[in-house]
Amino acid sequence: MYLPPVLRPLAAQGVISPAVQRIAEAPFSVVRGVPGSYAAERLAGVIDSWQRWNDCVWLRAQDIRPTELAQSLAAACGHRWLPTEPQPGTRPLPALRLGEMIYGAPEGAVIVLELGRRVTPGLTRLVKAIRLAITERGVRMVVVSESRLHPPVARGPDCVVSASDLADNTALDGYSSAPDRARLLRFTGRHAAVLDDVLAAARLWSPDAVDEALNSSYGVPSLLGCLTTALLDRLTPEQRSALQVAVAVGYWHPQMGTGPVTSEQLRPWLVPMEQQWGWLRPIWASSLRRELTRPRPTRQHWFGGGRAALREVPRLPTVQAAPRQGRLQAQLLGSLEVQVNGAPVASWNGQRGTSVLRYLLYRKQHACARDELLEEFWHDAPAAAARNRLQVAVSGLRRAFLGVTALNVVEYADGGYRINPKLLVEVDVETFERGLSAAAASERADIQEDARTAYRHAIAIYRGDFAADAPFEQWTLLPRESLRIKLVDALDRLSRIELTDHRTDDCIATAHRMLDIDPCREDAHRLLMRCYAEQGRTYQALRQYEFCARILQARIDASPAPDTIRLYDAIRNSSA
């Protein structure tokens, strides 16, 4: 068979989570996640830690037809386990003999089958046919699927692991500054493989190139495109040619080119493998193909201004200035609510349309590229079907808005979708964050009354968690948690101002709201203890400590911090 699909990635060492270690104990495991979440080199490192690397079979089956899956896997097992190479003219091992091949496997061997986005009933038949052999021989089989759907496996897997669990949480240690690390994590989110690739690019090329791409990006597809654009300018002609070959065939080897270009020199796009091969990680293919086919810009000098245009910047959907013809108000905190010129949209035509609308409203300039929407909501559908579903969703949105305005609210322009720039758009998330910024500015200027008022107004806007009516949409998880953290921080700052101003009742109410969000927040418990003690309600203060101790023990199996214990002792001794 064609060699590259059975070659293994070079093992990456790192901290292994307990969830991933469970794979070693399960005959049949599934690793699943969204595209860009699975880092093959991390899984290789896990298997290497079991001391089973020499007996590990690897098969990337993205381009293998389901009807040939068993035969291809048998050939991969033969490539790894047979002591000698098959003689010329030998017929391929029939699919019916795959079970026999596994019975002859080294005890404790490991089989890794990467399906990519392909999840088919063929896997059900394959697992059903070989499961007994796997169990009896002590072989470990790991199926990888970069899809939001569960792989259809017979009887279900013995272990299911999220691809993000393979990530090494210490990988960011030492990278740039804390804000840069936080920003990189915010962008990559659950795309752990993308995070590994970006860090590899920073080590090979320059952290400045990564920071520049982050500053120009507004999502994972955008980050991939911006980083690819920035790095392609640094490549030699031989390296660009190597990438063009990799895009065409999915793999690269130095002997395929005219110059000595290794896969390690083509990070972040290629994953180094055995025998000097490299594998193009699929999530990079689209942005790399687009940028490689774009004409390279010539250097143009503007001598009068002393500026030089060195490269093209990826074109994003732009919002042209236009006279405002209406006002759109959107509530994304809590359930989605939208008004146009004060008239609420009463009903929506389908849930996916509201998902697209919420996505646009949350984005900077309320616009994003079509490819980003397709990748986020229909990544596992064929391209034509995905585009059709997006058009159906947008059509449903336009029909819903017809009841409140004749204006085309969601329009297509510059290769993406946007909220019509003729509308003045007000989003509660943006108002909430502006309010927090104003409050923080007043606090830094030591204008406590203005800060307290601004914090209270901003907190009042937070009517519920972000996208509360879409709790299972993956892209909403990070914004939801980020905004919740901002709310708790605002409550904390407000409570400190109220305590300083001796607004004890207000401070108690604020602390209770903090505990409604996070019952284990000890500083809120201590705040209540101080307030109750200041009001002379010693018994209530001591009861608050007891409640704090119980909730910490029940939720996180922990005891109160020394600061909390000292405050409890001080209150108790003062009442003695």
How many whole angstroms separate alpha carbon 561 and alpha carbon 522?
8
pLDDT of residue 317: 45
Give the strand pairing for 416-419 and 410-413: antiparallel
Could you tell me which residues come within 8 angstroms of residue 128 by beta carbon, excluding any fewer than 6 positions away?
A: 154
Question: DSSP letter at 39?
Answer: -
Q: Is 156 helix (H, G, I), strand (E, B) or coil?
A: coil
The pLDDT score that the predictor gives to residue 91 is 44
Give the span between the Cα atoms of 281 and 505, in whole angstroms: 57
Specify the pLDDT at position 457: 95
Domains in the chain (CATH in brackets) are 4-166 (3.40.50.300), 178-309 (no CATH), 326-423 (1.10.10.10), 503-576 (1.25.40.10)
Taking residue 336's Cβ as centre, other Cβ atoms within 10 Å add up to 19
Nearest residue to 113 via CA among 150, 59, 153, 67:
59
Q: Which helix (H) or strand (E) holds 36?
A: none
**CB of 375 within 8 A of CB of 148?**
no
Upper half-sphere CA count for residue 221 (Cβ side, 13 Å): 17
Q: Pick the closest to residue 9 from 267, 385, 358 (CA basis).
A: 267
CA 134 – CA 459 distance, rounded (Å):
57
The DSSP secondary structure of 393-434, one letter per residue, reads HHHHHHHHHTTT-SS-SEEEETTEEEE-TTEEEEEHHHHHHH
Q: 3-state DSSP call for residue 520?
A: coil
Q: Is 307 helix (H, G, I), strand (E, B) or coil?
A: strand
How far apart are the C-alpha atoms of 125 and 130, rounded to whole Å? Answer: 9
Q: From the first residue on, what is the mean pLDDT of each consecutive set of 10 residues in the chain (576 residues)?
A: 73 77 82 81 87 88 67 81 52 58 86 72 74 86 72 63 78 68 72 85 83 77 86 87 83 76 90 88 86 61 35 42 76 94 88 92 89 89 89 91 90 90 93 93 90 94 92 85 89 93 93 91 93 93 94 88 93 81
Residue 162 contacts residue 254 (beta carbons within 8 Å) = no
d(Cα 245, Cα 292) in Å, to the nearest integer? Answer: 11
SS (H, E, C) 443-511: HHCCCHHHHHHHHHHHHHHCCCCECCCCCCCHHHHHHHHHHHHHHHHHHHHHHHHHHHCCCHHHHHHHH
Distance in angstroms (rounded) separating the CA atoms of residues 139 and 26? 9
Task: Determine the pLDDT at residue 35.
Answer: 78
The three-class DSSP label of residue 343 is strand
Task: Give the pLDDT score at 21.
Answer: 79
Instruction: Tell me how crowded residue 382 is: count the other CB atoms within 10 A of its CB.
Output: 9
Q: What is the DSSP letter of 117?
A: T
